[in-house]
């Protein structure tokens, strides 16, 4: 993987949004482009395409801890959620879930499970969650409850490749994930089913993916996903994310030393090693993102923009923060290529602009 520009160039600190394409994934995709056949065809060319798909199943299964045949290829985690929730209603979930999941929970008119001030789900012992994420994309908070009690759909999208995931012990009926969160291509994902779990029949089609998802598979994207998963497992097993966690600590310490009035989100609980979310009350997150973009840094706002209309973060509001905090949070997410120089440069640039904002507001 290669992201951070050399010298004084731009610094990419938005890995939770998407990661750069790994070299291994790029090479696998280029090789797949030369494979002619349709994977559903029984001739030599078709079998060659099918072999790519099956190899990728094995590669992803090794990272997730599942049987390769339980993997259903999709266009991403969002489609995986849509496939899973088809025909289901009144599922229970928490408002911190990703929109791809929360929209289905909300539509089922189910009561929302509350979270505490650190973003940890607080469910009663007998409550089965319709969905539960292992790691929140905005805050990086890891759910301590994940893998301990029954869940319908487990969202491992943000955690996969950064945090060990063992589907076999997850207590989930299914999990969803996306390739582009771990160095694979955008537009490729998977829904992974537990043994004996069946899906509501999909719209009519050719019966691909063992009859679970119709349509010719995206062989090139799947090849990239498999290669990225294999590389991600190698990096995870080597402990490379421990180094990223140290960089996050350096970043947070630097900001604390240079800026006051900052509110840290989820800092007192377990988080992904690469994610920090903090708010500067009174300074809109979108404004911060634009200011840092002009300064050469790519980060994300904790709140979302839709059609030009600013919305406060549903996740931060669910945690208990008021509107001034929910609208003024940003997320900084690091990658394996991030350097100490990158995070220190960001901390210095951000703190300088925060001080200017405070001076103007005084």
DSSP assignment string, 119-169: S-B---TTPPEEEEESB-TTT-BB-TTTTTS-EEEEE-TTTBTTB---GGG
User: Exposed, middle or buried, 145 (CB in 10 Å: 0-12/13-18/19+)?
Assistant: middle
Same domain? 254 vs 347? yes
Domain-terminating residue out of 214, 237, 260: 237
Residue 184 and residue 256 in one domain: no
* Same structural domain, 280 and 192: no
First to last CA, the chain: 44
> 217 and 317: one domain?
no
Number of domains in the chain: 2
Report the pLDDT value the prediction gives residue 220, as an integer from 0 to 100: 98
Report the helix count and the strand count for the chain, using DSSP H and E: 11, 13
Instruction: Please check whether residues 271 and 232 belong to one and the same domain.
Output: no
pLDDT score for 87: 83
282: tokens are: 């009174």
Structure tokens at 268: 């007192």
**CATH code of the domain covering residue 347:** 3.90.1150.10
Residue 277 has pLDDT above 80, yes or no: yes
* CATH code, domain carrying 70: 3.40.640.10
Residue 121 and residue 15 in one domain = no
CA–CA separation, 289 and 265 (whole Å): 17
Final residue of a structural domain among 209, 237, 265 = 237
Segment 6-30, tens digit of pLDDT:
346 899 999 999 999 999 999 999 9
208 lies in the same domain as 326? no
pLDDT at 314 over 80: yes
pLDDT value at residue 310: 52
**Whether 177 is catalytic:** no
Q: Residue 150 is part of which domain span?
A: 23-237
Q: What is the pLDDT of residue 52?
A: 98
Phi, psi of 141 (to 5 degrees): -65, 130
**Are 214 and 261 within one domain?**
no
Which of 198, 215, 237 lies at the terminal end of a domain, its last residue? 237
pLDDT in tens, 106-138: 888 777 899 999 999 998 877 789 999 999 999
- DSSP strand E in the chain: where? 11-12, 71-74, 129-133, 151-155, 172-178, 189-193, 263-265, 275-279, 297-298, 300-301, 304-306, 309-311, 329-333
Query: Are both 152 and 33 inside the same structural domain?
Result: yes
- Please check whether residue 6 lies inside any domain of the structure: no
Domain membership of residue 125 (yes or no) is yes
307 has a pLDDT exceeding 60: no
Do 166 and 211 sit in the same domain of this protein?
yes
Do 176 and 153 contact (CB within 8 A), yes or no?
A: yes
Residues 289 and 211 occupy one common structural domain: no
Residue of 66, 172, 277, 305 marked catalytic: 305
Q: Each residue of 50-60: pLDDT tens digit?
A: 999 999 999 99
Q: What is the pTM of this model?
A: 0.92
Q: Are residues 266 and 304 in the same domain?
A: yes
Average pLDDT over residues 246-257: 98
Q: 79 pLDDT exceeds 90?
A: yes
Residue 262 has pLDDT above 80, yes or no: yes
């Amino acid at each position: 993987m290669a992201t951070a520009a050399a010298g004084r160039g731009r610094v990419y600190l938005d890995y939770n949004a998407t990661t750069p394409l790994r070299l291994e994934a790029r090479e696998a995709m280029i090789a797949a482009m030369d494979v002619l056949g349709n994977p559903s065809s029984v001739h030599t060319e078709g079998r060659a395409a099918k072999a790519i798909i099956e190899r990728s199943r094995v590669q992803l299964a090794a990272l997730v801890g599942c049987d390769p045949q339980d993997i259903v290829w999709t266009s991403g985690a969002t489609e995986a959620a849509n496939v899973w929730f088809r025909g289901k209603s009144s599922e229970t979930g928490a408002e911190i879930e990703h929109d791809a999941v929360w929209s289905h929970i909300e539509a089922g008119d189910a009561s929302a499970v509350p979270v505490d001030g650190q973003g940890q789900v607080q469910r009663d012992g007998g409550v089965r969650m319709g969905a539960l994420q292992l790691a929140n994309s905005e805050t990086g908070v890891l759910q301590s409850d994940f893998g301990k009690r029954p869940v319908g759909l487990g969202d491992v999208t943000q955690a996969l490749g950064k945090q060990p995931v063992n589907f076999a012990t997850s207590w989930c009926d299914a999990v969803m994930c996306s390739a582009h969160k771990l160095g694979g291509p955008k537009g490729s994902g998977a829904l992974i089913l537990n043994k004996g779990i069946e899906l509501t029949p999909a719209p009519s089609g050719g019966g691909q993916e063992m009859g679970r998802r119709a349509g010719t598979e995206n062989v090139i994207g799947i090849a990239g996903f498999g290669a990225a998963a294999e590389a991600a497992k190698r990096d995870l097993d080597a402990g490379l994310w421990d180094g990223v966690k140290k960089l996050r600590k350096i970043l947070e310490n630097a900001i604390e030393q240079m800026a006051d009035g900052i509110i840290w989100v989820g800092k007192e609980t377990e988080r992904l090693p690469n994610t920090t979310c903090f708010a500067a009350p009174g300074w809109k997150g979108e404004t911060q993102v634009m200011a840092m973009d002009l300064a050469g840094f790519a980060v994300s706002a904790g709140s979302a923009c839709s059609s030009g209309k600013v919305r406060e973060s549903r996740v931060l509001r669910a945690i208990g923060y008021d509107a001034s905090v929910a609208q003024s949070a940003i997320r900084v997410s690091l990658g394996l290529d991030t350097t100490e120089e990158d995070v220190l440069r960001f901390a210095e640039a951000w703190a300088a602009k925060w001080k200017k904002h405070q001076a103007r507001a005084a």
